[in-house]
Structure 1
């Protein structure tokens, strides 16, 4: 008897609530928990606006939602690399929709660069696995003749590429860049040979006063007339 009374009471409350309160929130973020710098999909049901936008402090930038069926707009975006729970807001037809998602603590980036020692002007190979860290954009280094870009893909989200190193021996730092500039990681490699040494800088002696010009010698004229005793020749 008590159960029947409770059920009738709940039904009466539902009957009094407006239809909008009975419907689930039309904004969905999936997955609701995502790794740092991962990707989420955003879906808004009940909206046919062509200019719907979803915003969140967990998104690098506002996300424009595109029509994807009757009264449905969707989009996807990378999330930030800082762990936490973030709200998402979208407005359509004068109504505001809200949702939230959680960013997990970042895991160590999984990537490689080999060989660790390479001949001057030789080739190195680098790559990673987007499923255990992030989707790499490129690897850069002062020791590379050009950035290492990922031109090959594989199973389980693997990617790799090659580049040549410069000809100057030494130990250099290589930086792995996640897509979207969300995270970076570094490691070192060595170009074989003896690193060049920079000769010590010597300071030239200070210049003294300019030497005075030497006086020009006096030149006596040649062929001067001879002088006699004052007599007159006869």
Structure 2
């Protein structure tokens, strides 16, 4: 019985040694996306283990601004960056250089039927804002909000989107934009920030007065006032 137990014990140790390095390599290989599917404009988190040796920023034609933000420390061994999913539904690939090689991850931007989006979540008081939905969406054609100066009608089309443009109020605060989607009221939150104060003439830095140039009196021959 002792021999059998010893054999089993050795087998367990051998198994642990065989699979532990493999599991470690898998966890440190390349980078990951927090989800496989997003809605238009959705936040995307990209991360990697420091052992993956990734560098630069992640890129994709499925990101609104093409590139992710810079990677920052997000844990003892983790680096993370953010991006936003394209407004256009479809299948995309994110790319990042890890250990000198291009590593890719596939993801999908789905067309939600019961949602709409805003082009920004923070707008300066009195600024412009756009409301968007996919052409497949079952949302209505008008968005309303106490934070809009007037209801916004979605009357323009671009690729796979219906778009409406408007302005926000001058009063800073947090507001809800609302549309009827699939027979129910759907809300999206946004913030109106205070307008930066305009610079007045009094605020502008004054230019120091230049000292007058004093020329010596006298004949040019001596420069001291006496004649040659």
Q: TM-score, normalised by structure 2?
A: 0.41
Q: TM-score, normalised by structure 1?
A: 0.41
From the CA coordinates, give the structure whose radius of gyration is larger. Answer: 1
